[in-house]
A and B are shown apart, each in its own frame.
Chain A
Amino acid sequence: MNETYQGLLEIDRIIHEPARLLLVTILSAVEEADFLYLLTATGLTKGNLSSHLTRLEQAGYLEQEKSFVGKMPRTLCRLTPAGQAALAAYRQQMGAVIGE
């Protein structure tokens, strides 16, 4: 099979989903961000955002840490080294397929 086609078939589907790609891209630029920031930046609903974060966490691409700031709960999200590597690989694969 053509190498480019093969690359397309091997694309990471967890990251390839648009909302998760957006989340992973945002988190790749920072050390960590909280749930509220991700909610504001992506425009997703709370439920939708929560399910995508859980999916990324299950894949080992993301860590979540729940804490309190005063009386306010804060959920911090950060990309794991595996998540960073998966995003880098995804960018490389997509670049090869699209020809960027």
Chain B
Amino acid sequence: MTEQMDKIVKETYRYFYVDGLVETAVGLLFALIGLVLAGWAGFEEGSWLLKTAVIILPILIIGGTFGIKWLVGNLKERITYPRTGYVAYRPGEPNNKRWLLPLFAALLVVLMFVFPEWLNKMAFVQGVLLAFILGVIGYRVALTRFYLSAGMAFAIGLLATLFVANEVMGSAITFGGTGLLMLLMGLAVFANYVRQHPMQETS
């Protein structure tokens, strides 16, 4: 019985991802980061384009992180809540990631011993990091599509490390590829959600 109650709690957390908006927004941010990194790798040394890419990247990462919260909140208010209802989670839920950092550090230490030469590869480490975060979210809310994204992030990071000599381009492919995948998956989930749930009159 308590197991069943835990399932209900998990399902309540899963509601945060039901509309695909979070994946769409995060995927878009990752894809943009990948695009800027690709520019970084491709632009000529000392050119104004390279300088712009170097300046834009931290702004994109910091601004994007805050922007996503604002954007997703606003979209949910207009699209999700009038259709399937409003839920306010406790601070930190359902994305309580405070314990993620030590766990990821432990994972890196293990990797360091098993594959010492791989930890010099930026794209591989980024692929592992993205896969780990997506995998944890998938486990926490029991959503298979997050496991798929995690597997793809790991595979893209690994392939970029193996086949792309330029480290920055490897990172661009890892972020861009994972982001594009999340964006497409998020949009598909969103389209399906909107089709299945018409606007309601009461809340």
Contact A36 B200 (CB under 8 A): yes
0/1 interface trace, chain A 14-27, chain B, CB 8 Å (1 if under): 00000001100110
**Interface of A, helix, strand, loop or mixed by DSSP:** helix
Q: Are B90 and A37 in contact (CB under 8 A)?
A: no
**A25 x B86 contact (CB < 8 A):** no
When A29-B9, A100-B3 are in contact, do A39 and B85 touch as well, CB less than 8 Å? Answer: yes
Instruction: Assess the A30–B87 pair: CB atoms within 8 A.
Output: yes
Chain A proximity of B88: nearest CB distance (Å): 4
How many Å lie between the Cα of A35 and that of B84 in the bound state? 10
A45 close to B (CB within 8 Å): no
Decide yes or no whether A72 CB sits under 8 A from chain B: yes
Contact B12 A34 (CB under 8 A): no
Q: How far is the CB of A7 from chain B (nearest CB, A)?
A: 14
> A35 touching B2 by the CB < 8 A rule?
no
What residue in chain B is nearest A36 (Cβ atoms)? Answer: B85
Min CB–CB distance B44 → chain A (angstroms): 52
In the complex, which residue of chain A has the Cβ closest to the Cβ of B16?
A30
Closest to B10 in A: A29
Q: Which residues of A contact B86 (CB under 8 A)?
A: 33-34, 36-37, 74, 76
Q: Can you list, as one digit per residue, whether each of A28-56 has a CB less than 8 Å from chain B (1) or not (0)? A: 11111111111111000010000000000
A residues near B, CB below 8 A? Answer: 21-22, 25-26, 28-41, 46, 69, 72-76, 91, 94-95, 98, 100
3 shortest interchain CB distances as A-B pairs: A37-B85, A36-B85, A36-B203
